[in-house]
Amino acid sequence: MNAPTLPSALPRPHAGRVPITPDPDAIRTYFAESQDDYFAWSRGHNMHFGYFEPGMDPFDREAMVERMNTVAIGALAIDALPEPIVADLGCGSGATARALARRHCGASVTGITIVHEQIALGCRLNREEGLHRRIGFLLSDFADTGMASASHDAAYAIESFCYAAGDDKVGAIREAYRLLKPGGRLVVIDGFLRGDREPSGPLGAVYRAWCRGWALPGLAGLDAFTSALRREGFVDVGVRDIFWNVAPSAAHIPWVATVHTLRELRKHRGLSPRSLRHIAASWLSILLGLARPTFTYALIVARKPQSGQKV
């Protein structure tokens, strides 16, 4: 399979930032090789952090990851639409798409991913739930989908735009804007750098090792990302820091990764380099989470203006 091509002219990084250029082969390999690992994280194969609210059990990880789906879907504001068409930009195996289809019986979702193994798994899981007629997949780069312009009522990206090019992820933003109908919403839930440059020193070394472990090219800068949203034409850009909502589920990561790796070690009597990097990144995520002045986790909502609306 040929790798989806990346834009030839990538956005220029801000001063002090290393150019963020994804490696599609590394990303595909990581997700293909770790696909089964995510069942250890979530029975429904959710591939993202959970969302904790008062009254929830912080030890019930599945309830938290499903709650994150509910929060993302609610932010799309599509309940009043009888048959909304939604794009999942970086869909994994489609867990959030299935949550959306269960909630909204008239909705249809297209999931975009460059990992064909995720599509094969997603198709099987969709059939098992009887949702295969309303959820489709496209093997493509979410920054260059080839789908029709103004064809979707809403779009979301949960922990996927971090795999896009640039410190502002403008290519992915531009494609999302193109896909949306006037008035359509984009919801992005992801980790971000607070400043205009990557951390240096020991924290920078931890950050770069964490990125390598999960095949990440690098997180967006929060200010750079929201500026790019406005520059590309989005309006009503809202940012909500949900770090503390995510923290209880993030605290599960090292334990889950370690226990799963030890089980694999007993079965296979050895650890692959990918497994070692994965478990290292899982533990390093806790260190990065403690660096609150440098990193955060946010829910961002933006809207494509109605035709003729001044921006």
Q: 276 in a domain, yes or no?
A: no
60-91 pLDDT per residue, tens: 999 999 999 999 999 999 999 999 999 999 99
Q: 230 in a domain, yes or no?
A: yes
Q: Which two tokens stand for residue 297?
A: 């986790």
28-59 pLDDT per residue, tens: 999 998 898 899 899 999 999 999 999 999 99
Give the pLDDT band (50/70/90) at residue 17.
Answer: low
Distance, CA of 157 to CA of 15 (rounded, Å): 27
Q: 3 in a domain, yes or no?
A: no
Q: Which two tokens stand for residue 211?
A: 């990125």
Q: What is the pLDDT of residue 20?
A: 86
When pLDDT is averaged across residues 169-191 and rounded to a whole number, the result is: 98
Residues 162, 216 contacting (CB under 8 angstroms): yes
Q: What is the pLDDT of residue 192?
A: 97
Structural domain boundaries, residue 73? 24-194+218-246+298-303
CATH number at residue 121: 3.40.50.150
Share of the chain above pLDDT 90, in %: 77
pTM for the model: 0.90
| Domain count of the fold of the chain | 1
Q: 189 in a domain, yes or no?
A: yes
223-252 pLDDT per residue, tens: 999 999 999 999 999 999 999 999 999 999
Q: 259 in a domain, yes or no?
A: no
Q: Which of 225, 150, 223, 216 is nearest to 184 (CA)?
A: 150
Q: What is the pLDDT of residue 269?
A: 62
Helix pair angle (170-179, 222-231), 10° resolution: 40
Q: 263 in a domain, yes or no?
A: no
Using CA of residue 245, residue 154, residue 122, residue 148, what is the dihedral sign? negative
Q: 228 in a domain, yes or no?
A: yes
Q: Which of 284, 276, 275 is nearest to 254 (CA)?
A: 284
Q: 205 in a domain, yes or no?
A: no
